[in-house]
Amino acid sequence: MSDERPANPDLRRWGNDALQALSDAFDKVVRSREASPGIDVADARAQDWFDLAHLDPAAPGKFPGVGGIGPAASDRTVSDRPDAGTVETGSAGSGPAGASASGEPAPTAVAAAPGTPAAAPDPEPEKTLEELLAELDALIGLADVKAEIHRQVAVLRVEGLRSKAGLRSATITRHLVFVGNPGTGKTTVARLVGGIYRALGLLSQGQLVEVDRSELVAGYLGQTAIKTAEVVASAAGGVLFIDEAYSLSGDQYGTEAVDTLVKEMEDRRDDLVLIVAGYPDPMVVFIAQNPGLASRFRTTIEFVDYTDDELLAIFARLAEGADYDVPEATRTRFSTLLAATPRGPSFGNGRFARNLLEGAIGRHAWRLRDVTEPTVAELRELRPEDLDDGREPMAPEPPVAPDRLTGDGPADTPTGADTLTGDGPADTLTGDDHPPADEPGTAEHDESEETP
């Protein structure tokens, strides 16, 4: 028995009529194409060619654009290539192709292609060697650092000239070791070194990539080498700055990262500068752990702590850069706070000045919270009290009451230390000579102090 179902005569008849209508429509298109280069879609007859509503009310209606109906290619504002964006025709209201679903004319703006990237902003002009050296010299303090960078620039510049003249050049290591406490300007100078080396033609880009141990070491052995190599590749053409590089010492993960760094330094020696930074003593251990590091880091630059006057100048410069005024009284208050701050390996140096300024800005805003329309002078001025933490001075502590357990109280008081040990005089309540229960207490005893 056959499983085929009998065909619906109405459906077959509708299909045949639809095919016949499409065939007639295409014949008309071919004839019209032969007679003229295009068909005006505003023509009512052209709009009805692909309207199947007379065959079935549920039919989708007109099919604009099929068979080449529409304006000529010269009238299109955007090419109808597959990768093009929205295509608008020459007339916004000329038929279905130029109207929106609501019947309103389609907008004349042309949409951008979905895959077209946004226009990149113009890159900043590269600074010249003179501009970069002037920026270095404008830094507060760091006299020895500036002198060493100028010496490095002179050596590298002359070596470049000798190479252009066809003379032999000695192998000069460009990698640097920065040692010093936090906040002494190591990162700022490293960024300038990248620009200086680029201006000298030693680096192709001169960018600075700053990382620490967490960005070099992976969670498993074998992955650290891959992760470190990727970081080095991102710094190719510029400077890779590793802060607290000594943290890579002492374990197999750090050793794997260091071994990878040594290899990458050799492979990319013509277009990569590595600067490692950290405290002086730990950095000696770090350099000594791998012979490849010791042979590639020949120049060590020490960043000494800023003096009090230099920190005051840094504070004032940061404030002025943010459009704040620092009167003399505020400067004096800064010096007083600085003198009371312990200096140690963890002292923040420039960060101390920056953090103090940020706190002062917050207190300045709080001080003006009730001023409806402060003047420009009030908005700019930092007062001495803005540098304080805002807490009231602590009141003197009351005298400490004698401790019942430590024996600091007088021997003849019931709260002395001997009240529990029995070693006190005979007139104490809890000593060996405690009076009988039926005798009255001593004169010093106050029954109100006893726990009910």
Q: Where do we find the tokens 């540098």? A: 387
- Domain 308-387, CATH: 1.10.8.60
Average the pLDDT over 368-380 and give the result.
94
Contact 320, 156 (CB under 8 A): no
| pLDDT exceeds 60 at position 444 | no
Start-end ranges of CATH 3.40.50.300 in the chain? 129-303
How confident is residue 275, by pLDDT bands cut at 50, 70 and 90? very high
How confident is residue 83, by pLDDT bands cut at 50, 70 and 90? very low
Minimum mean pLDDT range among 73-87, 154-168, 251-265: 73-87
Start-end ranges of CATH 1.10.8.60 in the chain? 308-387
Q: Homologous superfamily of 129-303 in CATH?
A: P-loop containing nucleotide triphosphate hydrolases (3.40.50.300)
pLDDT, tens only, 153-171: 999 889 888 888 888 877 7
Q: What share of the chain is helix, strand, coil (3-state, %, to 5)?
A: 45, 5, 50
What is residue 275's three-state secondary structure?
strand
Average the pLDDT over 34-48 and give the result.
49
Contact 253, 217 (CB under 8 A): yes
pLDDT, tens only, 384-395: 999 987 544 444
How confident is residue 373, by pLDDT bands cut at 50, 70 and 90? very high
pLDDT at 120: 52
How confident is residue 79, by pLDDT bands cut at 50, 70 and 90? very low
CB half-sphere exposure, 100, CA atoms < 13 A? 6
Angle (nearest 5°) at CA 379 between 373 and 380? 160
Nearest to 52 by CA among 29, 21, 23, 25: 21
Find the helix or strand (DSSP H, E) in which 194 lies. helix 186-199
Instruction: Provide DSSP, 202-219.
Output: S-SS--EEEE-GGGT--S
Sorted by sequence, the CB contacts under 8 Å of residue 270 that are 6+ apart come out as: none
Contact 274, 242 (CB under 8 A): yes
Q: What letter represents residue 345's amino acid?
A: P
